[in-house]
Structure 1
Amino acid sequence: MKRSHLVKIAMIVLFSLGSLGVVGGSFFLRKAFSSSSEPEIVTDTSRYTQIRNQLISNNYQVKHFPNTIPADAKDVRIAYSPGSLQGGSFFQIRVKESPEKIKKLLAQYKTVAKHEYRGGNTNDHANLPNGVPTTFFYTSDVSEESFPPSYEILVLDAQDKGSPGFKWNHGDSYGVAIDSLASEIVYWNEQW
Structure 2
Amino acid sequence: MKRSLPTRHYGSIQLLQIAVIVLMSLSSIGIVGVGFVVKQGLSVRNHQAKIIKDTSRYREIRYQLWLNQNQVKHFPDRIPADASNVNLAFSRGFLQGSNFFQIKFKLPEQQIKRLLTQYRTVAKHLYRGGNTNEHANLPNGVPTTFFYTSGSQEDSFPSSYEIFVLGANDRGNTEFKWNHGDSYGVAIDSSASEIVYWAEEW
TM band (smaller chain): 0.7 to 0.9
Equivalence for 1:176 = 186
Q: Select the structure that is richer in helix.
A: 2
Residue identity opposite 2:61 in structure 1:
I
Residue identity opposite 2:38 in structure 1:
R
Equivalence for 1:3 = none
**Runs of 5+ consecutive residues of structure 2 not aligned to the other structure:** 1-28
RMSD: 2.0
Equivalence for 1:14 = none
**What secondary structure is seen at the aligned counterpart in 2 of 1:141?**
coil
Residue identity opposite 2:165 in structure 1:
V
Contact 1:121 1:146 in 2 (8 A): yes
In the alignment, is residue 33 of structure 1 matched against residue 41 of structure 2? yes
Number of aligned positions between the proteins:
172
Q: Report deviation, 1:58.
A: 4.1
Contact 1:39 1:83 in 2 (8 A): no
In the alignment, is residue 124 of structure 1 matched against residue 131 of structure 2? no
Q: Report deviation, 1:33.
A: 3.1
Equivalence for 1:13 = none
Contact 1:55 1:62 in 2 (8 A): no
TM-score relative to the length of structure 1? 0.83
Matches within 5 A, 1:137-156: 137-156=147-166
Distance, in Å, in 1 between the alignment partners of 2:125 and 2:65 is 23
**What secondary structure is seen at the aligned counterpart in 1 of 2:105?**
strand
- Residues 1:67 and 1:39: Cα distance change in structure 2 (over 3 Å): same
TM-score relative to the length of structure 2? 0.79
Larger Rg: 2
Distance, in Å, in 2 between the alignment partners of 1:43 and 1:96 is 17
Residue identity opposite 1:147 in structure 2:
F
Q: Report deviation, 1:59.
A: 3.9
- Residues 1:189 and 1:154: Cα distance change in structure 2 (over 3 Å): same
Deviation readout 1:99-144 (Å, 9 max, x if unpaired)? 1000000111111100000000000000000000000000002110
**Runs of 5+ consecutive residues of structure 1 not aligned to the other structure:** 1-20
